[in-house]
Structure 1
Amino acid sequence: MGGVVQAWVTGWVVSRGAAAPEREPWGFTVDVGQVAQVSRHVFDALGDDVDEAVVRKVAGGVTGAGVWLKVFQDPQVAGGWLGEGWWVDPEPGYLMTVPLTAHSERPAAPGGYRLRAWSVGGVTRVLVAAPDGSLAARGQVAPTGATAVFDQIETVAAHRRRGLGSVVMRTLEAAAARTGAQTGVLAGTPAGRGLYEALGWHVEAPLTSAKFVGPDAG
């Protein structure tokens, strides 16, 4: 799928309130402005098209703690390209997409749960509250034209296996489709991949997440 990385970056910065991405010869740099994530470098090649030499060069130029790399390759491969001072998440992420249809319907929450959705600043958020009012599940989506980025999808452990993840995703898909978005994009975890695939999402590439912690971080 052409442009899927750019679509993900564009929607992610809207979802998280980050700075507009800066185009690089190899991808994008995004300033996030948090202690744990000052900025991130996102490479726009996928899978076997990722250039090891380019990743090594960009990683070698990072000297400040809190800078992240996002490389669309398996961590067992891309992790070996990074030098001293890098923490690499051993679990792969997954860049995933799904077609969105205008007739997507908003589902109902299971009995006792309360479902609410609202939009602020171009981002639609969904909350599923448990019968006691505590958080059960949540998520958000940032449509940016033809694509929409799904983000921060979460189901609290005590409320899993009750269909709440599907309720959140279907609600967000319907909201995105109503804006005219035709394709959904997300970066999923191994824990979420099964849910997304059951809902029709397709893996485009694995994802390595790495954070520079400094050579003396232990």
Structure 2
Amino acid sequence: MPVGIEPLEGFHEKGNFSKAIIKYTNTVGYANSDGTLIITEQTLINPAYRCYVMLDDTIEYQAKLKQNLLNGESVYLPYLGKNEFSAWWNMKSVLEYDYSLFSAKSDFKINSIFVREYPLHDRKIRPKYSPSLGTMINQSSYMYFERLPIGFDEKLYQYELGEFAFTDWTLKQDAVFEDLYTIKSLDKIKVIQLF
């Protein structure tokens, strides 16, 4: 199933979510044969995403997933990283979008994270000062990179990782990306990538 992920505005700063360090200490003797166990974790604070899933109602498990999303149901508790960090979705915000394949007719921005297959620096529109507007146009502030799972090797029991990016850069019309789609969301046209 093709999936797209958009970090929500107002919850991240330049692609980064706030983080906290949590320390656990276990001093009971029966839990630790070598003394005190100290665990340190880094945790995201209030991450929020809009997740896009392209579903085909004619495929049984995808039709079932759609009904589960619409009804706020799941077979297992969804979680982010570990059981203590359960993931929730608002049933009222589960929406169906009209979409079409994106074809760049001008410079554009990608609103979701996307697969980065080549360096992007040369495909960025340079900011310029507009005397008539009295401000900078095409001004951008961040490019966030991360290696994320794109598949699972069942023989090796390992994730296959891909290079991803998230940015507010305006990209040149000739920048090529696979599986970009245009959707209309709250009177805005968004460009997202499904991978």
**TM-score of the superposed pair, with normalisation by structure 2:** 0.35
Structure showing greater Rg = 2
- Normalised TM-score (structure 1): 0.33
By relative contact order (CA 8 Å, sep 6+), the higher-ranking structure is 1
